[in-house]
A = this chain, B = another copy of it.
Amino acid sequence: MAGWTLAEIARRLGGRLVGTDRAVTGVRPLESAGPEDLSFLANPRYRPLLERCRAAGVLVEPGVEAPHLSLIVVDRPYVALAKVLVFFDRRPRPVPGVDPRSALDQGCVLGLDVSVGPFVSAGPGCRIGDRAALMAGVTLGPGVSIGEDAVLHPSVTVYDGCVIGARSVIHAGTVVGSDGFGYAQEGEEHIKIPQLGNVVIEEDVEIGANVTVDRATFGSTRIRKGTKIDNLVQVGHNCDVGENSILVAQVGLSGSVRLGRGVVFAGQSGVVGHVSIGDGSRIGAKSAVTGDLPPGSFVIGYPARDHAEWKKTQAVLARLPEMRRRLSRLEKRLESLSLSPNRKET
């Protein structure tokens, strides 16, 4: 298979080739790369693996030496890896064209070179941007808008009136625009609050598989541009997730939560409703945020609190049984002290 030369890769990445120029046909991690592969050292702790590495070339940061290997020196090898993998990505892509087994309402407006797979259905008034791909079994409700170059993987559902931005990618089984969870209690019964808003996914968002993003009661639930969401995440109604945020798998955002830019929720964490999280905040795995957080917060735990304090408490927690014994011992000793008026004489 036609490959690349190290020199050409170095040139495209704005890096510097140190050592012999060679041809490469694929990319592999240090331990499994063969003599036709490019490899990478993205994490300094794997540096010892360079020793026995057989790769044709390795992406490294400045300062790394390995005389037996050809190196492509770049400022940030992990970013370089992201870019170089695109050159080697041979995964199949959706082919333009509308499968005759799809069911698009006549009122839909299709851009140029859209790809619509079999068993896709779209209600009246949908707009599909140029080169967007709707893979098999995707369902769009009435009035949905899909941006240019967006990709909806199989069996994604987008409810009526929702908007998916350009270049956004939504993985299989994800549901966008289902009803927010709102009820008014009347006696023992729960009266449904109709959910009349929508969901807006902005540009360059990626959403994993089997995620759920509820529509707003009024207005829009919004996922801002550049945000990345992992699998099985729940985003409640009326949330506003700031730009370039990260929600790791199984995170849950309750209703009306507002995230700033670049917020990171680690796996299985959650947040109660009507809370604001400042820019750049980080939430530890499995944590539960119960109130507003200022920008740059780093919290963890249940309920979530400052990470440094939490660590101190954790360190002591394991000693709790010991502390209790010490406490009892102290009480006894003090008791005996108090009871021994002649202690001095003993």
Instruction: Among A184, A209, A234, A331, find the residue whose CB has the most chain B CB atoms closer than 10 A.
Output: A209
> Contact: A314 with B324, CB < 8 Å?
no
Known A82-B192, A219-B32, A327-B323; contact A178-B337, beta-carbon cutoff 8 A? no
Decide yes or no whether A106 CB sits under 8 A from chain B: no
Residues from 148 to 171 in A contacting B, C-beta threshold 8 Å: 153-155, 157, 159-161, 169, 171
Instruction: Among A32, A161, A286, A309, find the residue whose CB has the most chain B CB atoms closer than 10 A.
Output: A286
> Contact: B89 with A196, CB < 8 Å?
yes
Q: Which of B159, B286, B318 contacts A313 (CB 8 A)?
A: B318
Secondary structure call for the A interface: loop
CA–CA, A143 and B243, complex, Å: 36
Inter-chain contacts of A312 with B (CB < 8 A): 320-321
Closest to A243 in B: B188
CA–CA, A167 and B160, complex, Å: 20
Assembly stoichiometry (copies): 3
Residues from 253 to 280 in A contacting B, C-beta threshold 8 Å: 254, 261-262, 267-268, 270, 272
Closest to A78 in B: B184
Stretch of A4-12, A62-70, A113-121, A291-299 contacting B (4+ beta carbons < 8 Å): A113-121
Q: Which of B159, B188, B194, B309 contacts A244 (CB 8 A)?
A: B188
CA–CA, A270 and B196, complex, Å: 31
> Contact: A288 with B286, CB < 8 Å?
yes
> Contact: A206 with B192, CB < 8 Å?
yes
A-B contact pairs, 13 of them (CB 8 A): A81-B193, A82-B194, A90-B196, A92-B142, A137-B155, A169-B179, A173-B210, A181-B231, A249-B254, A267-B270, A313-B321, A317-B320, A330-B330
Which A residues contact B (CB, under 8 angstroms)? 27-29, 32, 76, 78-79, 81-83, 85-86, 88-92, 99, 101, 103, 117-119, 121, 123-124, 135-137, 139, 141-143, 153-155, 157, 159-161, 169, 171-175, 178-179, 181, 183-186, 188-194, 196, 206, 208-212, 214, 218-219, 226, 228, 230-232, 234, 236, 243-244, 246, 248-250, 252, 254, 261-262, 267-268, 270, 272, 285-286, 288, 301-303, 305, 309, 312-321, 323-324, 326-327, 330-331, 333-334, 337-338, 341-344
Extra 13 A-B pairs, beta carbons < 8 Å, given A188-B244, A312-B320: A82-B191, A82-B192, A85-B193, A103-B136, A119-B137, A139-B172, A171-B175, A181-B249, A234-B249, A270-B285, A326-B331, A327-B327, A341-B344
